[in-house]
Amino acid sequence: MDKQGILNCLSEFPYDRNEYWVVAGGAMVLYGIREQTADIDLGCSKRLADHLEADGCLFRRTDDGKRWFRYGDHIEIFEEWIKDTVETLCGFRVVSIQGLIEMKQDLGRDKDKKDIALIKAYLSR
């Protein structure tokens, strides 16, 4: 999914934009660090997680007890997943680049290490 696809998908997401923020690959695309991402990962407030649950969205609990939702075919939502702060890009809240690096470091997968290298190359431009 490219930047316009992400923006279109988020524009159709029927919840308060102040209650969620874009993280992971979607944030990288919105910053212009990558061209594409497979899906959109969002962090959300407990309040939005409660709304999603009340609306019947299926979820599971993560190891730390937080809720993880799948919304439609392209959005995954993680309760209270945030590092650092958020910024506003294209009308949506997005985790800061520093927060993005910290999230990727915490995950520690090979693909996250490659993403960190892309972020650092982007910052050095």
Domain extent listing, the chain: 3-112
At residue 125, does pLDDT exceed 90? no
Structure tokens at 3: 């930047």
23: pLDDT strictly greater than 90: yes
- Summarised one tens digit per residue, pLDDT across range 46-95 is 999 999 999 999 999 999 999 999 999 999 999 999 999 999 999 999 99
Q: pLDDT tens for residues 88-124?
A: 999 999 999 999 999 999 999 999 999 999 999 999 9
DSSP state of 39: S
Give the pairing of strands 86-89 and 40-44: unpaired
Q: What average pLDDT does the segment 28-53 reach? A: 97
pLDDT above 70 coverage of the chain, percent:
100
Q: Collapse the DSSP code of 30 into the 3-class scheme (helix H, G, I; strand E, B; otherwise coil) and give the result.
A: helix
Q: Is the dihedral of CA 7, 9, 14, 17 positive or negative?
A: negative
Largest CA distance in the chain: 45
Q: What is the CATH number of domain 3-112?
A: 3.30.460.40
